[in-house]
Structure 1
Amino acid sequence: MKFILGTMVCILSFSGLFSQTKQHPSLSGIIVDEQTKKPIAGAVITIQNRTTTSGDDGHFLIRNLIPGKSSITVNSLGFEKYTNTINLAKEGTTLQIALKGYNLFLQPLEVKAIRAGSKAPFAVTNINEQEIAKTNLGQDIPFLLNQTSSVFVNSDAGNGIGYTDIHIRGTDATRINVTLNGIPYNDAESQGTYWVDLPDFASSLNSIQIQRGVGTSSNGTGAFGATINLSTNEFHEKPYAEVNNSYGSFNSWKNTLKVGSGLLNGHFTVDARLSKISSDGYIDRASSLLQSFALSTAYINKKTSIRFNIFSGKEKTYQAWYGVPDSLLATDRTYNPAGTEKPGTPYDNQTDNYQQDHYQLFFNQELNNNWSFNTALFMTYGRGYYEEYKAAQNFADYGLTPFTIGNTVLDSTDLIRRRWLNNHFYGQIGSLQYKTNKDELTFGGGWTRYEGNHFGNVIWAQYGLYTPNYQYYFYPAVKTDVNFYTKWQHNFAKYWYSFADVQYRTVTHTMNGFEGNGNLDISRKFNFVNPKAGITYSHNTWQAYFSYALGNKEPNRDDFQASLQEQPKAETLHDFELGVSKKNSRFNYSADLYYMLYKNQLVLTGIINDVGAYTRVNVPNSYRMGIELQGAYIFSKWINAQANFSLSRNKIKSFTEYIDNYDTGGQNAVQHTNTDISFSPDMIGAATINIIPEKNITLSFLSKYVSKQYMDNTQNEARSLAGFFTETFRANYTVKNFVFKEWNFILQINNIFNKLYEPNGYTYSYISNNHLYTDNNYFPMAGTNYMLAVNISL
């Protein structure tokens, strides 16, 4: 924690001191379109291992360079890559660089429609392909985002491979909207994101945008704390091939093959990826076998692009979702109870198995200089089950009759069951976009339909099973979602921009039965209007903004499993955001303040529904408020640093806790006021220091701090997770034009000080013999562990 704060102070307080040290040459200039001579915004300029982007006026500036000959490259979407050798003068150099445009339509409009632009009044983090590649060693996407602001992550297996989760501003995955090329990805029923179903998807990504808060209107489930937009639709001009391999602790492997045709006949491209990730996991038997592929082909001409994507992920993971009891945490922190109901050794196929196939078809069309249109059709097909050995199961719970042996009637048996989910999720998104020098206007929306079948099979029983693969429940569900939105950004005065956004969304969810309550049929419809508005000031190196956004969100499937008289209400969020930032070629820093006021937020209180299951209920008032600080500074050509720190307050104003009372057979009610929201640490920080001793070597020291958090909403110290501080070391070494085009070696040592910590867990309290007992279960993370990668560009 002190290290992170020290890094922030160093970046923000001593930047002036360093700026007064010996000056080195600077490189400045403007990037323009060769044909139109108009400035190009967002071009990426790289020289001497330093990178910056051109501003809205096309200008750029890089300070603190070494005089003499240097190679410079400039990349911008829609233009040919520019490469040249220049001679930097001691007093500085100014250039005008003209980029030659492709006579092709390359803008990914499906992504642009939902992403926040550079002048949008929201808290945004953008991550490019190069930054993704530095950390892509086989861990799931949440772990690649761990150093970003207000983020903390966890892993069931303890090493970031398999089932993983992410929290942003304390909100969990069910409240984070995720899109893949603008297409919704969250599970339609649970509203969660299962990253394990997208193994090695990071190897196909060219950019990620994180919007904290409600953000702009998007497709899919409502953003109730953040949005993560993932984009794969990248254009590669030249043919390429890559072989990426990683190996590390716990017998962890990542093998990836990527190939691309480049531009064929001036119009066609084909890109493909094949991946396999495997690991034994840190937790006992927490193994993972993850396989995936991706194929993308496109036709592009001057005003039209058509792209078809197919990608698929298949996972088999040994169940590790039960956690380690607190009684064993100190002596056996890798303990896994999964499969231990089987007599003798644990059941060897206590696994989760799932495959998910994605089909995406995009059509983009430029109508004229101001108007453009896009639409996309998609279908996601998922199917899989988790298998488990269960001991002493009552025949009646499975619709089976008791089994008789001689004069003995057996009411229960050991068995092996599979619980299945088979689903289709399909629909269409689209947008019409208008752009001038002062206005950006987008009309968009989409429709989706989810058809899911939940069913269970008994595949073996010690007694009483006469039908092979016997089905003991079947509960179908259908969910439809239609939304329309309009966004308008207007440059209404010099340096000033307004933003307005309104979305209408209607959701219908029909469920025919739930496990344990097969006769409960629920059909609910929700209609939401979600307006957003804000204002931005942007001049030179300063930018400031203020915005308000309203978000509404329907309950998830489990919430509906209540009596018809106790059905949950939709949740509402009022999000106020205020931010200021300053950025130039050498440093940047920002501060974002937020106040997120929830109405009818759904939380666990311990109450059980009419079938004995714990369910979430609406609490009238709760809120999150905080400040997010970020900073980065280039001290010299061989050292730079960046850090972020979030300080927040997350409260439920009033709710009633329900505790099981084994003495009475009922529940005791306990009133609470002004308590912390579960899994919402008050402080989250991250810092990175990069040392570049040689041109092709980068040594990075990454720090992460997360303060204490509570596992329920009572703010009870006995039900809390201790704060933790970890350090990671990463070394990156690049060799070019030795046998192959490029070799990239990465060594990453995680948790170098062997910190024993648990970022996730769950708790259960009950009363017995007039005494309150609390049982906690934790999900420990691995101590010191490593990954080593050898990536080859052919």
Structure 2
Amino acid sequence: MKNLFLFLTLLVLSVSVNAQEDKQQDTTKIQKLDEVLVKAVRVDADSPITHSNVDKAEIQKRNLGQDIPILLNYLPSVVTTSDAGAGIGYTGIRVRGTDATRVNVTINGIPYNDPESQGTFWVNLGDFASSTESIQLQRGVGTSTNGSGAFGASLNLLTDVFSEEAMAEISNSFGSYNTRKHTVKVSSGLLNDHFEVSGRFSKIDSDGYVDRAFTDLKSYFLQGVYKNNNTLIKALTFGNYERTYQSWYGLTEDQLKEDRRQNPYTYDNETDNYWQDHYQLHWNQRFNNNWSTNLGLNYTKGKGYFEQFKEGESAADFSNLIEDDSDVIVRRWLDNDFYVLNANVVYQNTNLELVTGLSYNTYTSDHFGEVIWGSDLAPNTQIRDRYYDGDATKNDFSIFSKATFNIVPKLTGFVDLQGRFVSYKTNGINSDLNEFVTDADFSFFNPKLGLTYKSSEKNSYYVSYARANREPNRDDFKAGVTENETLNDIELGWRYASNKVNVSTNLYYMFYQNQLVLTGELDDVGSPIRATSGKSYRLGLEVDANIAFSKMFSTSLNVAVSQNKNQDFTASLDGEFVNLGDTNISFSPELVIGNAINFMPTENLQLSFLSKYVGEQYMGNIDRKSSKLDSYFVNDFNINYQINPNKIFKSIIVSGLVNNVFNKKYVSNGYYGTYDDTWSVPGETTTLDYAGYYPQATTNFLLGLTLKF
């Protein structure tokens, strides 16, 4: 397989060399150097990859403290979640029913997903929207990216571009549940036409909709830039310290009816505490109108713990550090280091664009737990003795070559070939006090092919095929899963673009082998548990339309209709394995609709009414009624007014957001599991189930004021 990949890569490269000799430089498109940062992981408007773009102006309209997933809530096929209920703290995003571990996230082309869990923890990116220039969401396998492979979607962020002029900005917002966001941004502007220094400091606090589910985020973003006509060098660092009160336990159905804002946790320091700092260096170089390169380096340091009170514990569960039936307070730590090297070469002329690159990252982590208090400690035991300790190392190397080229007039081809090679090793004792030793290696070949036919200036059609492979994560290995999962994705689309109407419509068929679907259950730290479902598929239709009726009125509407099935699914029910046939894949609603109605009575005033409908979904894979989440329809109202005074301030922006205008009591997420009752009736096994729910906030508001100097 490796030889095949190298042969195909060399074939694509040979095409580029021949094309280079035939084309004139003076007809070449010149790419902005800033965009080279994400060129390797993004696609263009006419690419046969289904995608959506969000620019800075759109992001800032609702950037009043909520996390990035919530700001992307109205994109096609997107469903968002919030543990604390108000969109701040632990939030998540699902795309086409795939969970956050399947959404590949990059920042300036640098992988952000945690390599071990493959998840994305937005709580560690407090107010990052204030330092984001643009976002592209690719649905399906998408194009080759860095880090954990995209297995349903990829989300790449470009941070702030350099500012030509000196500026300063103060932004403050306040709202329900004692929510506050305070942001200060500054830029020196270009000094001597070559240098710029900029920065941001933010503080976000919220008590949360759920009782005591507070969030305390402190974040920063600092950047230094050197540029000339052909060179752009960026050195940046950003980081965040978060402290949140636990709210991942959810509520039972009875608790939800009794008081949907209650929190079952009672220990006053049941908190999550984590520090994460990122350091990036990017060097973009344009040699001429055809050739440019990018070199990216990254180091990320993360360290933190969550603290938990446990009552009446067994000594055996804590390495005999306590006596039986002792109350205990523990801290469970994660201490990790993440290094990344990206290198890309871009060649382009009138008829060809070629991007070739490689990415290497290495991740090391220590997992350990310590007892910080016990009502009855064992003899010779000290506070902070560790009751488990283990380490892990993961290395990830990928090489790719992707080309977009004209075949004949109006017909464009796309070829993307990637080889990815992963090794993962663990050693030590896990939190369940069992030995956890893993030594696994994976080699993947991920091809992607597509065609785009532009029949006119307004109409284009595309078809693509992509294959992705993905290794199990840490929890999968602990559960005994050792095989990779494979996804084949076929996309067929039509795009229409005119001055007033833009429509994107696509059909997709994603079929899997060994898909790791969410079981609905949670582990002992609140992370979703996955299990192999064998064969499964997702079949859907997505429509995304933007229509300008006049200068004052416009609308953005998207509809996603899908069928998501496990095939020949078997489960243990009432003491025996049963073939349930085709069942619904967990957390995969069949209908998702987003809509925004915008009214601009003047150039400086915009009012938007936003609506989101998410159809019913199952939290498990056995189609039990007790595992079903009801559909919900939620509406928000957003207002932005900009004043441009002649003195002191460049602009004054007043923003307002009313979430859940009609006070809908809804649940967007939960968990579900089963257990066998073998004691009620001797000799009989009865499968029982349980469920938990995460209530979302009723009507709430945020008000913001931004002063730009």
State if a TM-score over 0.5 links the two structures: yes
Q: Give, in angstroms, the shift of residue 233 of structure 1.
A: 4.5
**Residue of structure 2 in register with 1:307 after alignment:** 234
What does residue 364 of structure 1 align with?
Answer: 284
Query: 2:164 is paired with a residue of what secondary structure?
Result: coil
Distance 2:687 2:437 in 1: 37
> Matched residues in 1 for 2:580 and 2:521: separation?
14
For the pair 1:107 / 2:34, whether they are aligned, the reply is yes
Q: Give the aligned partner of residue 520 of structure 1.
A: 436
Of residues 158-167 and 232-241 in structure 1, the stretch that sits farther from structure 2 once superposed is 232-241
1:531 corresponds in structure 2 to 447
Provide TM-score, normalisation by structure 1.
0.82
Partner of residue 440, structure 1? 353
Question: CA offsets, 1:541-585, max 9 Å, x none?
Answer: 1111000000000000001114xxx54310000000010011111
Find the counterpart in structure 2 of residue 575 from structure 1.
489
1:39, distance to aligned residue in structure 2 (A): 9.9
* Correspondence 1:151-190 to 2 at 5 A: 151-190=78-117
- 2:665 counterpart letter in structure 1: L
* SS of 1:110 mapped into structure 2: helix
The Cα of 1:606 is off from its aligned counterpart by 8.7
Alignment partner, residue 484 of structure 1: 399
2:526 aligned with 1:618, yes or no?
Answer: no
Runs in 1 of length 4+ with deviation above 6 angstroms?
36-41, 606-609
* Alpha carbons 2:100, 2:120 under 8 Å: kept: yes
State the partner residue of 2:632: 724
Matches within 5 A, 1:629-778: 629-658=543-572, 668-737=576-645, 739-768=648-677, 769=680, 771-778=686-693
Alignment match, 1:586: 500
- Two-structure CA RMSD over aligned residues (Å): 1.9
Partner of 2:478: 561
Relative to 1, partners in 2 of residues 1:401 and 1:478: Cα closer, same or farther, differing over 3 Å?
closer
CA distance in 2, matches of 1:746, 1:425: 38
* CA displacement 1:469-517 (0-9 Å, x = unmatched): 1111111000000000000110121111100000000000001142225
1:71 is matched with: none
Matched residues in 1 for 2:53 and 2:260: separation?
37
Letter in 1 for 2:277: D
Deviation at 1:772, TM superposition (A): 4.3
Matches within 5 A, 1:87-236: 106-236=33-163
Is the Cα contact below 8 Å between 2:243 and 2:273 reproduced in 1?
A: yes
Partner Cα separation in structure 2 for residue 615 and residue 40 of structure 1: 47
Distance 1:573 1:176, change over 3 A: same
Indicate yes or no: 2:473 matched with 1:546: no
Deviation for aligned residue 1:402: 6.1
Does the C-alpha gap of structure 1 residues 765 and 617 become closer, same or farther in structure 2, counting only changes over 3 Å? Answer: closer
- Percent of residue pairs identical: 45
2:419–2:445 Cα contact (<8 Å) kept = yes
Shift of 1:40: 7.6
CA–CA distance in structure 2, aligned partners of residues 793 and 39 of structure 1: 38
Bigger radius of gyration among the two: 1
Residue type at the aligned position of 2:549: F
Q: Return closer, same or farther for 1:436/1:248 CA change in 2, 3 Å cut-off.
A: same
8 Å contact from structure 2 (residues 589, 616) kept in 1: yes
How far apart, in 2, do the equivalents of 1:293 and 1:717 lie?
46
Q: Which of 201, 207, 210 is the equivalent residue of 1:283? A: 210
CA drift at 1:348: 1.1
The code of the aligned residue for 1:657 comes to A
Tell me the CA shift for residue 367 of structure 1. Answer: 2.2
1:351 — aligned with what? 271
For 1:238, what is the secondary structure of its paired residue? coil
2:660 maps to amino acid: N
What displacement does 1:518 show?
Answer: 3.4
In the alignment, the residues of structure 2 paired with residue 517 and residue 391 of structure 1 have an alpha-carbon distance, to the nearest angstrom, of: 18
Q: Give the 3-state SS of the residue equivalent to 2:84 in structure 1.
A: coil
Instruction: State the number of aligned residues.
Output: 671
Of residues 641-650 and 688-697 in structure 1, the stretch that sits farther from structure 2 once superposed is 688-697
Per-residue displacement from partner, 1:188-218 (whole Å, max 9, x unpaired)?
A: 0000000000000000000000000000000
Partner letter of residue 503 of structure 1?
Q
**2:38 match: secondary structure:** helix
Q: Structure 2: state its 5+ residue gaps.
A: 1-24
**CA offsets 1:369-398 (integer angstroms, 9 cap, x no match):** 211111111111000000011111112221
Q: Secondary structure at the residue paired with 2:129?
A: helix
Q: Bigger CA drift: 673-682 or 514-523?
A: 514-523
Distance 2:155 2:530 in 1: 25
- Among 492, 498, 510, the alignment partner of 2:425 is 510
User: Which residue of the partner structure matches residue 332 of structure 1?
Assistant: 259
Is residue 247–residue 254 contact of structure 1 (8 Å, CA) maintained in 2?
A: yes
Q: Report the Cα offset of residue 602 of structure 1.
A: 1.4
Q: Displacement, 1:110?
A: 2.6
Which residue of 1 is the match for residue 339 of structure 2? Answer: 426
Normalising by structure 2, report the TM-score: 0.92
CA distance in structure 1 between the aligned counterparts of 2:343 and 2:28, rounded to whole angstroms = 29
| 2:569 aligned counterpart, secondary structure | strand
CA contact (8 A) 1:176 1:227 kept: yes
